[in-house]
Chain A
Amino acid sequence: GQNIDQPTEMTATEGAIVQINCTYQTSGFNGLFWYQQHAGEAPTFLSYNVLDGLEEKGRFSSFLSRSKGYSYLLLKELQMKDSASYLCAVRGAAGNKLTFGGGTRVLVKP
């Protein structure tokens, strides 16, 4: 089975940096995804890691260590619109099935 852990909530100040950690234990691994979900809206794709290392996309970066079962999402130069839930999801060995963590609610304060 799959077990994915991420913090429930984080608070940060506008302009700052926040790092959201995700740890996982899975029976197989074929990639890790991060999604952003604003309240009342659908999740939207942010990033994908399948190899170890850092992937950078503008203000957002995602890191993966497969040996440690660990990923983080880094949000830089925080803006008020970044207040949302961030979902870590792991794809197992077979198919395109994703298992999602419970999500981390990030609150950006002025």
Chain B
Amino acid sequence: DARVTQTPRDKVTEMGQEVTMRCQPILGHNTVFWYRQTMMQGLELLAYFRNRAPLDDSGMPKDRFSAEMPDATLATLKIQPSEPRDSAVYFCASGQYDNEQFFGPGTRLTVL
């Protein structure tokens, strides 16, 4: 049963600390997405990759956020330094070309 995995599932940190979230997409999927979900803003696209190349990161605050795909089995989203307003659930999703996206379980981030 192929699924997207994310670690950690929960993260509590203090303002100013670095946070790294990891995602393993479904094997064979060539597109990987990072989303952020909050009550106020809903589900927002931060960045996405196709065949490991970044296609769009216009939704991401560039001064503190960075997203990478070091290889086809790993995508990372890093926040440095973290701020309380970054508190949200971060979802990774993967898909194959233009087909539907499959979401991971999310990382619930709390920045104190």
Chain A interface (Cβ < 8 Å from any Cβ of B): 30-31, 33, 41-45, 48, 87, 91, 95-103
Please name all residues of chain A whose beta carbon is closer than 8 Å to the beta carbon of B55 when the two chains form the complex. 95, 97
Chain B interface (Cβ < 8 Å from any Cβ of A): 31, 33, 42-45, 48, 50, 55-56, 91, 95, 97-98, 100-106
B106 to A42, Cβ gap below 8 A? yes
What residue of chain A has the Cβ atom nearest to residue B44's Cβ? A100
Please name all residues of chain B whose beta carbon is closer than 8 Å to the beta carbon of A103 when the two chains form the complex. 42-43
Please name all residues of chain B whose beta carbon is closer than 8 Å to the beta carbon of A95 when the two chains form the complex. 48, 50, 55-56
Indicate which residue in B45, B102, B104 contacts A97 across the interface (CB closer than 8 Å): B45
27 contacts between A and B (CB under 8 A): A33-B101, A41-B105, A42-B91, A42-B103, A42-B105, A43-B43, A43-B91, A44-B103, A45-B100, A45-B101, A45-B102, A87-B43, A95-B50, A95-B55, A95-B56, A96-B95, A96-B97, A98-B33, A98-B45, A98-B101, A99-B45, A100-B42, A100-B44, A101-B42, A102-B42, A103-B42, A103-B43
